[in-house]
A and B are shown apart, each in its own frame.
Chain A
Amino acid sequence: MLLGLLLAVALIVPLLGQPYYTRLVARMAIFGIAALSLDLLVGYAGLVSFGHAAFFGIGVYCAGLLPMMGVQQVWVIVPVAMLVAALYGALSGLISLRASGLYFIFITLAFAEIVFYIAQGLRMLGGDDGFRLPAPTLLPGGASLANPVVLAYTMLAALVLAVWVARRLSESHFGQVVVAARDNETRLRAMGLSPYPYRLALYMIASALCALAGVGFANLVEYASPASMSWVVSGEFLFMVILGSAATIVGPVLGAVVFVGLEQLLSAVTEHWLFWLGIVLVLRVLLLRQGIHGLLAGGGQR
């Protein structure tokens, strides 16, 4: 199976001792987690969030701030980052989930911009420039995520775990209610269920997952800056989800792999790589009904 092959390649690459490619694998895994967390919202709940980078940025800042307080352990940083993101998800979701469609898109964007400007306003943290990570995140046993090989394997493991969790979640009783709310909200209400609490719970879960990716990203670039939570990043996440095909979980991960790969390839060749990436997205929408996922799965799977 193609996915297994892809994972095998990803597992072998860090062994080749080429830091550039090892970091590329780590990057793909990190954005894969971010994209699949957004897919839970876009694909399964039909909630197109344009502010998902806020939670990514919360992860980045947690990974940058906690070492300042002398905390480097991954088992502290990741739970704290996920908790903070889930709380901000709850706070912003309470309000944004009352809206739908275009309004939801704008409110999520607005909440992400709030976090962005707060980060930008933190003078002692470099403001707009951000700051260098004072120290990397450490795994139990002392292995450092500053080591590209450790980072790549850690993020690949996290990605596999995230895919598994997201799959289970989407197939659970909870997942069925979320999909039902996407398909027909009126019917769900008439059956005695209000979609709101289910969407809110999902929003918090997706936010927390994205923060996990953010922690990885901070260790990859060894830097924390407001740029990691700008609306451009939110747009890129959406790009990955659409590229790979929403509501498939694996699809958006593939979307992230292709996006990051093309970004590296094209930016080496031309300054105008975004232009070509845009054309790729247009071609995907015009030619591939089920995205890259449909292409690889042979159109047979949903």
Chain B
Amino acid sequence: MSMQALDQSEAVQTGAYDRSGEAPLLEVRNLVKRFGALVVTDQVSLSVRPGELHALIGPNGAGKSCLIGQITGELRPDAGEVHFRGERVDALAVPERARRGLARAYQVPRLFGSLTPEANAAVAEISRQRSGFRFWRRASTDRALAIAARAALDRVGLGRVDAPDPAGRHHPRPAGLLAHGDKRLLELAMGFASEPAMLLLDEPLAGLGPADSAAMVSLLRSLKGRYGILLVEHDVEAVFALADRISVLVGGRLIASGPAALIRTDPRVRTAYLGEDA
């Protein structure tokens, strides 16, 4: 992207955020992860404050998704600590961390493909209200469940999607057959349903067309301040428009971290990451 575009996004940044005094929501300390001789996470430390949107950028293969995986618990770090809401969580399994308020969206949306979007959101609600061991009550006719699911879908602006079957009757389309952008939105909606404190978003803009992309950016902007967000994203323009702080990961190492305005002018970041554009 051009310098001009970078400068334009500055207006959004100025005075947008200052809660630096608050205790961090998420704190990663000296995290190390190796795959054989390859060090994918090399002494990484970063924090996300309540309500802050912290962007994680870096070239392909920098270890961004691996870092997210260690925060959610899908990957075990070799060394270092992960603290969430003041509690050390790096020994906890994925579901336990999720129940403490960590919600994740994947680079490739992970959904319950055979279920309708409503049913997908309903499973998230079942998880939140811990009703998974109700053996008799029908999920499809449970009004409270339907209302919560609809609310979660409305929050991301996902309407009812119907599709005719071969016989011409209309059925809600299963999530696996949704358009890519809608899958993204649905995954986010399911994240909200669990009433998280923090969202880990892995490239929410990847693969989206211009219209979907703009909608996602405005959705992310509306979430800012309400959730702590760690955003991995390749779209630099969007990152500078949205982020309070930016960390730059190159080859598993954090080469810079700080307010967006500082990162933009950091010479190391320019050579390592923004090099082509500078």
A-to-B contact residues, CB < 8 Å: 168-169, 171-177, 179-180, 183-184, 186-194, 198, 201, 298-300
Contacts and interface: CB of A to CB of B under 8 A. Distances in A.
Contacts of A183: 111-115
B143 to A, nearest CB: 13
23 contacts: A169-B135, A171-B139, A172-B136, A173-B126, A174-B134, A177-B127, A179-B114, A184-B111, A186-B106, A187-B110, A187-B112, A188-B123, A188-B127, A189-B95, A191-B95, A191-B124, A191-B127, A192-B95, A192-B96, A192-B98, A192-B194, A299-B167, A300-B169
Given A171-B140, A190-B104, A192-B98, A179 B115 contact: yes
Nearest to A201: B133
Nearest to B167: A300
A173 B98 contact: no
A184 B127 CA distance: 14
Interface size class of B (residues with CB under 8 A): 35 or more
Given A173-B133, A187-B111, A190-B106, 9 more contacts: A173-B131, A173-B134, A174-B134, A180-B112, A188-B112, A190-B94, A192-B128, A198-B133, A300-B166
Interface string B84-95: 000000000111
A187 B134 contact: no
Question: 7 tightest A-B contacts by CB?
Answer: A192-B98, A183-B112, A187-B110, A192-B99, A173-B134, A189-B94, A177-B132
Nearest to A205: B135
B110 A184 contact: yes
Contacts of B166: 299-300
Contacts of A175: 139
Contact of B190 (A186, A187, A189, A194): A187
Contact of A191 (B98, B133, B135, B139): B98
A81 B74 CA distance: 40
B254 interface: no
Contacts of B98: 189-192
Interface string B102-118: 01101000111111000
Residue of A169, A171, A172, A190 with highest tally of chain B CB at under 10 A: A190
Nearest to B97: A192
Nearest to A183: B112
Contact of B95 (A172, A184, A193, A300): A193
Nearest to B171: A302
Interface string B50-74: 0000000000000000000000101
B114 A194 contact: no
A255 B217 CA distance: 51
B132 A198 contact: yes
B115 A174 contact: no
A176 B169 contact: no
Q: Majority SS of interface residues in chain B?
A: loop
B171 to A, nearest CB: 8
Given A168-B136, A190-B104, A192-B127, A173 B110 contact: no
B72 A190 contact: yes
Contacts of B19: none
B165 interface: yes
A190 B200 CA distance: 11
A188 B165 CA distance: 28
A173 B112 CA distance: 15
Contact of A173 (B120, B142, B169, B190): B142
Contacts of B187: 187
A23 B119 CA distance: 42
Contacts of B194: 191-192
A24 B13 CA distance: 78
A156 B169 CA distance: 33
A172 B106 CA distance: 28
Contacts of A189: 93-95, 98
A61 B92 CA distance: 44
A198 B95 CA distance: 14
B119 A176 contact: yes
A173 B114 contact: no
Interface string B3-27: 0000000000000000000000000
A165 to B, nearest CB: 9
A179 B112 contact: yes
A176 B132 CA distance: 8
B74 to A, nearest CB: 8
Given A187-B190, A201-B133, A300-B166, A176 B115 contact: yes
Interface string B130-158: 01111111111010010000000000000
Contacts of A300: 165-167, 169
